[in-house]
């Protein structure tokens, strides 16, 4: 099945998606729009609803409320068609560990009923640099090579949208970089990518970001837009700080978050004057130096999550 979207049609355009499991609302009125050829980073803490949202988008789950389109198809009435046009890479390696790389890809090609399976498998092996290992059993692969195999399987049927659920968890830095180089190559070919991640350096490689916590959307935009929209003031405290300093700062009025970055602490809040007052007792103390700093994505991430309401805690109350 092929589907041609016009350049003006977004790859993902959904509104107010809601999904409940029993008395818990796991996804709560989430709206998301991603244009074609864009890489959208999907950020949020564990249990925030990222995986459930991804499964709603590709038709593996049905939303209790909300509507929208994925690749121009209705997520409620055309879920089966969407699944054939999307490449979904799950958090956990989902292929057969007792089959070889080639055998796994041949199996996936048969599932999609590809007309020239051998040609498709050969192309996937070449594209992901898997030719030399094609007869190796998948269960013997390292995390990075399993990742390549999983991505190759996602690309076999030439999808227009990739949904990648924490694809680089447990993968070494070199494999992560190679993976992201491949993702940018795919985006350059017009493929849209929605990727959930916990790594801020990976978030910085996305064209846009969508923050979610406890089922609710918190922010959406480019890195610069999200940092500016957060309205955070940040000070940096360098030197020989310890746990007592951290506790004192977290208890100080106007302080939203305190996070360690190497030998420095990032202290964030809404008002620069309040932060200056909180840090004033430490100015001039032996070995400590405080100064204003620029907010980064991790500062924003921590502050947004700190302000979000835990839907599971509310349900248990």
- Dump pLDDT digits (tens) for 101-121: 999 999 999 999 999 999 999
Give the separation between CA 3 and CA 152, rounded to whole angstroms: 21
Mean pLDDT computed over 296-303? 87
Could you list the residue range(s) of the whole structural domain that residue 57 is in? 12-226
Torsion region of 188: left, alpha or beta (phi above 0 gives left; psi -120 to 50 gives alpha): alpha
Q: What is the CATH number of the domain that holds 61?
A: 3.40.50.300
In a 3-state reduction of DSSP, which class is residue 59? coil
Give the separation between CA 249 and CA 233, rounded to whole angstroms: 14
The answer to the question of residue 7 being in a domain is no
* Contacts for 136 with CB less than 8 Å, ≥ 6 apart: 100, 101
The answer to the question of residue 307 being in a domain is no
Residues 284 and 144 placed together within one structural domain of the fold: no
Q: How many CB atoms lie within 10 A of CB 281?
A: 14
DSSP character at residue 45: -
CA 180 to chain centre: 12
Q: pTM of the predicted model, to two decimals? A: 0.88
pLDDT tens per residue across span 166-199: 998 878 888 889 899 999 999 999 999 999 988 8
The answer to the question of residue 301 being in a domain is no
Question: What is the model's pLDDT at position 311?
Answer: 54
Domain boundary residue among 193, 211, 226?
A: 226
Mean pLDDT computed over 201-207? 93
Task: Give the count of domains, the chain.
Answer: 2
- Of 168-182, 200-214, 245-259, minimum mean pLDDT range: 168-182
The answer to the question of residue 300 being in a domain is no
Strand partners of residue 88 = 163
Burial of 274 (0-12, 13-18, 19+ CB in 10 A): middle
The answer to the question of residue 253 being in a domain is yes
Question: What is the model's pLDDT at position 214?
Answer: 87
Tokens matching residue 142: 């390292």
Q: Could you tell me the sign of the dihedral formed by the alpha carbons of 153, 159, 165, 167, in that order?
A: positive
Residues 160 and 265 placed together within one structural domain of the fold: no
Band the pLDDT of 207: cuts 50, 70, 90. very high
Tokens matching residue 276: 């200056």
Residues 153 and 29 placed together within one structural domain of the fold: yes
Domain boundary residue among 226, 248, 280?
A: 226
Residues 69 and 167 placed together within one structural domain of the fold: yes
Residues 218 and 283 placed together within one structural domain of the fold: no
The answer to the question of residue 312 being in a domain is no
pLDDT tens per residue across span 263-273: 889 999 999 89
Domain boundary residue among 181, 198, 226?
A: 226
Q: Are 184 and 30 in contact (CB under 8 A)?
A: no
Give the separation between CA 15 and CA 153, rounded to whole angstroms: 30
Residues 207 and 62 placed together within one structural domain of the fold: yes
């Amino acid at each position: 099945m092929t589907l041609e979207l016009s350049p003006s049609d977004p790859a993902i355009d959904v509104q107010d998606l809601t999904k409940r499991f029993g008395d818990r609302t796991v996804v709560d009125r989430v709206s998301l729009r991603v244009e074609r050829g864009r890489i959208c980073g999907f950020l949020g803490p564990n249990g925030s609803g990222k995986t459930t949202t991804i499964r709603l988008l590709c038709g593996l789950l049905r939303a209790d409320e909300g509507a929208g389109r994925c690749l121009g198809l209705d997520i409620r009435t055309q879920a089966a068609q969407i699944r054939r046009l999307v490449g979904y890479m799950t958090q956990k390696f989902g292929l057969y560990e007792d089959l070889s790389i080639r055998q796994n890809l041949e199996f996936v090609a048969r599932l999609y009923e590809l007309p020239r399976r051998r040609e498709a498998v050969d192309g996937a092996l070449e594209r992901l640099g898997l030719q030399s290992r094609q007869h190796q059993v998948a269960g013997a692969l390292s995390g990075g090579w399993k990742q390549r195999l999983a991505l190759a399987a996602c690309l076999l049927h030439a999808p227009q949208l990739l949904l990648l659920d924490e694809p680089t968890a447990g993968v070494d830095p070199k494999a992560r970089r190679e993976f992201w180089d491949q993702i940018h190559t795919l985006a350059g070919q017009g493929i849209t990518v929605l990727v959930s991640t916990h790594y801020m350096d990976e978030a910085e490689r996305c064209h846009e970001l969508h923050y979610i916590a406890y089922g609710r959307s918190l922010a959406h935009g480019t890195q610069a837009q999200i940092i500016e929209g957060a309205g955070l003031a940040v000070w940096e405290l360098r030197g020989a700080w310890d746990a007592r300093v951290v506790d004192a700062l977290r208890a100080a009025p106007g302080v939203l978050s305190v996070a360690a970055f190497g030998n420095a602490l990032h202290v964030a809040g809404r008002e620069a004057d309040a932060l200056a007052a909180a840090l004033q007792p430490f100015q001039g103390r032996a070995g400590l130096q405080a100064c204003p700093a620029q907010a980064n994505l991790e500062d924003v991430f921590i502050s947004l999550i700190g302000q979000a309401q835990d839907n599971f805690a509310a349900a248990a109350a």
